[in-house]
Amino acid sequence: MPGQLNIISVETAPIITQLLYTHSYPLSMSKWDFRRYILVYLIPILLVIIPYISYQAATGFEFYPLFNPDHLRSDTANRVLDIRTQMVLTGEYYQPFFQSYNVEHPLSRREFDHSSNLSYDGLIGDLICEDCNVVIFLVDALRSDHMGFNGYPRNTTPNLDNIALASVNFANAYSQEAYTTPSVASIFTSEYPKSHGIIEVPFENRLSDDHTTLAEVLSLEGYKTAAFVLNPFMHERKNLGQGFDTYYVNSRGFIGDEEVEKFETASKIEEKALKWLKEERPEKFFLYLHYMDVHYPFIAPKPYDSMFCDPGGGLLPSKRRFQRLQICKYDQEIAYTDYMISNLMGKISEYDENTLFIFTADHGEEFFEHGGRFHVYTIYNEQLKVPLLFYKPGLDKGLVVKKPVEMIDLAPSTLYLLGVEAPSTFKGMNFFNLSYDKPYIYAGGRYGRDMLIDGEIKYIRSRVNSYNEEFLMVRQEQVLELPYRMEVYNLSSDPFEQRNLQLGCDNCAAHLQQMLLDYSFKDLQEENIIETPETVKDQLKSLGYVN
């Protein structure tokens, strides 16, 4: 009709257009009529949409709260991750969700000190298994303190808890970095990141053929080797498949491409591993299985998607509620992975019971304990401490080892159990040896950040970073030099690293700087370590920081 706007179909029009044009109105409407439309329709919509978009922009555009993404869960074979959502959420300070673990796990009554319990030697004797198969289950982004067998109050790992009762559980295992590629390279090569050279993300560095890997050693011993990896960061360009006869990595393009990455789930690993065993029929085999289910995005399949929290969501949750929601979804993924791994472990045992199983992770995950989300960005314990179990079918007892160990020790320790000599290039030590006693636990390497644990004291040196301060700018090989920030924590009294003792210790910064320089820039050899000066120890004691 002349002078009138056509009515747009309610079925196809966007919601704002529907509300504005559900009723036609003359083009010659009065100013009051126009204002009435604005007041009645547009302003209420904007009052909802603008705060919501602002909130999502602050939280990395995770559009969870307005809808229930069941359509994403229906296809558990593939899940889509938009790499652009992996950014730090800066904001107010958050206390850890579970600050104290008052639940006593059965294993906590059987703690072990290398120097005082001879039963350890007997258990390791039962673990020693020449010509055993080896299977490493590595779960990406899995925190040690979210495991039931490490005291977590939520029932995330019922199956692994039972397995832990007949395993050696290293309750204080530390990864060498807070993200995948340098961490896994350290596990494979038994070298620190600054030694093996993979310290950048995503694809700037490549593992040199000069480095010897665990897979190469076992291959020379007659093992058939295979790796099934669901993390696209471990693409063949990194050369992390060195030594594997079969190396499958799920990768659809590279980081930075327009397309998004797809994370396959635990069912894909089970399918490929069992198919490989059936087709290859190896006499001895080494399997490396790298899971991504616990990695963001946290979208557990049914029925695990409602195990600890409602799969739906409300509008505009508070940041505290958002933290709890993320932890809840994370724990549901752990529960799903717990079931899938224990199920596959049983099937592999049926194929050949003469198998040594190792369960661990490459790094942990942060949920705002220090102002951020995910991993990579810091080297606090929530990102560095990982679970570590050694299990062999037939064992009827287990132990918890509280002494701190490093993940570079995993390869030489595994070879020890197999009766294979570790190559001279391996920097790690055999933590099954009664004399195992490292002076320090070390991690770091990316952009000059390092940490050392000396007894109960943890030292951190890092460049002023991107949380709420200056951003470390990187362009090709040029790094903008920023001042170091020094941190000191007493892990005995402050396990969550919330009280920086460096502010009350005048000598700590200088000592930390010198200690880290000596330890990290001279090939990380023990003879280059300097002991903590008595003046620093005395000052920490006088401040009440050291017993």
Per-residue pLDDT at 514: 72
Contacts of 494 (CB under 8 A, 6+ apart): none
CA–CA gap between residue 148 and residue 100 (Å, rounded):
14
The predicted model gives 140-162 an average pLDDT of 94
Phi, psi of 443 (to 5 degrees): -150, 155
Q: Which residue has the tokens 């090939």?
A: 523
Count of Cβ atoms closer than 10 Å to residue 350 Cβ: 9
Q: What is the pLDDT of residue 435?
A: 80
pLDDT of residue 431: 92
> Residue 228 in contact with residue 290, Cβ under 8 Å?
yes
CA distances from 412 to 173, 259, 432, 443 (A): 15, 40, 10, 18
Quick: pLDDT tens for 74-86: 232 222 222 222 2
At 64 the pLDDT is: 36
Mean pLDDT of 22-31: 49
Residue 278 pLDDT class (50, 70, 90 cuts): very high
Mean pLDDT of 288-298: 90
Among 390, 330, 387, residue whose Cα is nearest residue 134 = 390
The reported pLDDT for the residue numbered 48 is: 72
CB 428 within 8 A of CB 409: yes
pLDDT at res. 27: 47
Q: What is the pLDDT of residues 477-511, one digit of tens each?
A: 444 455 677 888 889 889 988 888 876 666 766 77
Instruction: State the distance between the two ends of the chain, measured CA to CA, in whole angstroms.
Output: 88
* 440 or 57, which is more confident: 440
Q: Is 150 exposed, middle or buried (0-12, 13-18, 19+ CB in 10 A)?
A: buried
Average pLDDT over residues 323-328: 83
Decide which of 105 and 57 is more confident.
57
pLDDT at 545 (0 to 100): 39
pLDDT at 102: 31
Q: Which amino acid is at 168?
A: V
Query: How is residue 14 written in tokens?
Result: 């966007």
Q: What is the pLDDT of residue 280?
A: 94
For residue 457, what pLDDT is reported? 86
pTM above 0.85, yes or no: no
Inter-residue contact 286 to 221 (CB < 8 Å) = no
DSSP assignments along 336-351, one per residue: HHHHHHHHHHHHHHHH
Q: Specify the pairing of strand 450-454 against strand 457-463.
A: antiparallel
Q: Which residue is it, tokens 């296809």?
A: 75
- Residue 263 confidence (pLDDT): 66
Q: Where do the domains of the chain lie, and which CATH numbers do they carry?
A: 15-58 (no CATH), 110-435 (3.40.720.10), 450-542 (no CATH)
CB 429 within 8 A of CB 412: yes
Distance CA(72)–CA(302), nearest Å, equals: 11
SS3 26: strand
Residues 362, 178: Cα–Cα separation, whole Å: 8
Give the number of other CB atoms < 10 A from CB of residue 402. 14
Query: Considering the chain, what percentage of its residues have pLDDT values greater than 70?
Result: 62
* CB contact at 8 A, 176 and 362: no
- C-alpha 451/C-alpha 487 separation (Å) is 9
Residue 285's φ and ψ, nearest 5 degrees, are: -145, 155
Among 198-207, 248-257, 317-326, name the one with the lowest average pLDDT.
248-257
Per-residue pLDDT band for 120 (boundaries 50, 70, 90) equals low
Give the mean pLDDT of 348-372.
89
Are residues 180 and 138 in contact, defined by beta-carbon separation less than 8 angstroms? no
Asked whether the beta carbons of 196 and 186 are under 8 A apart, the reply is yes
Range scoring the smallest mean pLDDT among 9-23, 432-446, 527-541? 9-23
| Integer-rounded Cα radius of gyration of the chain | 26
Q: What CA–CA distances, in Å, run from 499 to 46, 204, 463, 485, 540? A: 43, 35, 19, 14, 13
Residue 30 binned pLDDT confidence (cut-offs 50, 70, 90): low
Beta strands 111-112 and 399-401, pairing class:
parallel
Q: What SS3 state is found at 372?
A: coil
CB 83 within 8 A of CB 60: no
